[in-house]
Structure 1
Amino acid sequence: MKTLISSLLLLFSFNAFAAPKSELWDYWDVSNEKNATTISHQYWQQTLDKYLITQGEYTLFDYANITDADERTLNSYLRQMRRIDPRDYKKSEQYAYWVNLYNAITVKIILDNYPIKSITKLGGLFSFGPWDEEVVVVAGKALTLNDIEHRILRPIWNDPRTHYAVNCASLGCPNLQSKAFTARNRDKLLDKAATEFINSEKGILITDNKIQLSSIYDWFAVDFGNQQQLFEHLKKYRPELKSFKGDISYDYNWKLNKQ
């Protein structure tokens, strides 16, 4: 009986998963372009420097060996970010703020629940992951990870490269970058992330006359356009890639990106 219930719950979870739409939350579409102040992401950079490890096409996080002191550093970073009202800053500063906050919260969620096999195991009984749980309060508003990605980042910036920037702590996800995002390095880092992912097997796997793309290109097809537009995007970062006429399959590995 327990096995049957577990199987039904697993089936429900996978079938219930659907990528949220990009829907602007107007409250956050405000900026002060005259503000030349920068937001420090030093504590987040310290965390990345110590615990992010490259193995082949993956960057893995060493969740198991983070020290109490370094976890306090991460917590300090999150406290600093909660005290900031990003609307007081330039849009370029805001973008880095939201991406780094999203990624830091995701790491914190895994640390708080470690050891686990997959982030999809978190959340409520009928939830597929923690993305709809309120995880932070910014400028008086309680936010979920889905709010940050789909109601702020995607609709305000309309940049498909955002999908290479936010990390869901899974092997199938574009890599967590070793550098914290800043207003200055944003475009360079986004292109680096896109290049790495599109030239990896988890991004595009070509075998014989078949091609397997990351499910990201299926879930968020609206951000990449039709198939011709998608391949134009992909060829920008993988020039030898040719337009494909056959069937395309999609895959995604939800296993934890652990060291």
Structure 2
Amino acid sequence: MKNISYLFLLLSLLAEIFGTIGGFGSSVFFVPIANFYFDFESVLGLTAIYHLSSNLSKIVLFKKGLDKKLLINIGIPSVLFVILGGLITKIFMNSFLELFLGIFLVSLALLFLIKKKLIITPNKRNAIIGGSLSGFSAGLLGTGGAIRGLTMSAFNLEKNVFIATSAFIDFLIDFSRSFVYYYNGFIHEHDLKYVPFLIIIGIIGTLIGKKILNYIPQEKFKQLSLSLILIIGIVTLTNVLLK
């Protein structure tokens, strides 16, 4: 079709596959990729719409693994703070915030990969703090899944439980911020041509990711998630420095 970047769609598929395997959603890959093709406001709008279908797919495929307690402790503060983050998006310099997020993700991922026995205490307080930070980051920068992934990894969840719970929280976040981004004027008519493709990619990428996940041993799952977060941080930093 006219003026459609097929390379962008291919990269979006890869983002969905890796996001499914990592358990924290594709936005952590999708946002840095989309920044190379669209202005930041369009990236936020597309990410929210795209993720609604993507996370619905994960909820259907992994629905038996939902952790209701974490859904409440992480999900409620995530929704509240994604609204706050989305509303103040226009106030802050996006490049500074992206740089800060990249440094934060790289530092924390390296810390947990090197100090393998060091974990966040799996309690209600840390779950609420992690949910608040991930929601605020999602509203402000378009991606907060990696922060939520770091928080949830402390609870050493079985991989299907991890993915199902993370996807449900992500769906609530995307549903909420879609209205905020629409209010901000971030959902542009000329970008909507990509939405049908991204919806299909979200479903296919989730299916492929689930198939691959069946071959990943449980003991390696947490290390894989942290490695993917490290890559996300590096890509974010690279994207900021190249601008």
TM-score when normalising by structure 1: 0.30
Mark the structure with the bigger radius of gyration: 1
Give the structure, 1 or 2, with the largest relative contact order (CA under 8 Å, sep 6 or more): 2
More helix by share: 2
More strand by share: 1
TM-score when normalising by structure 2: 0.31
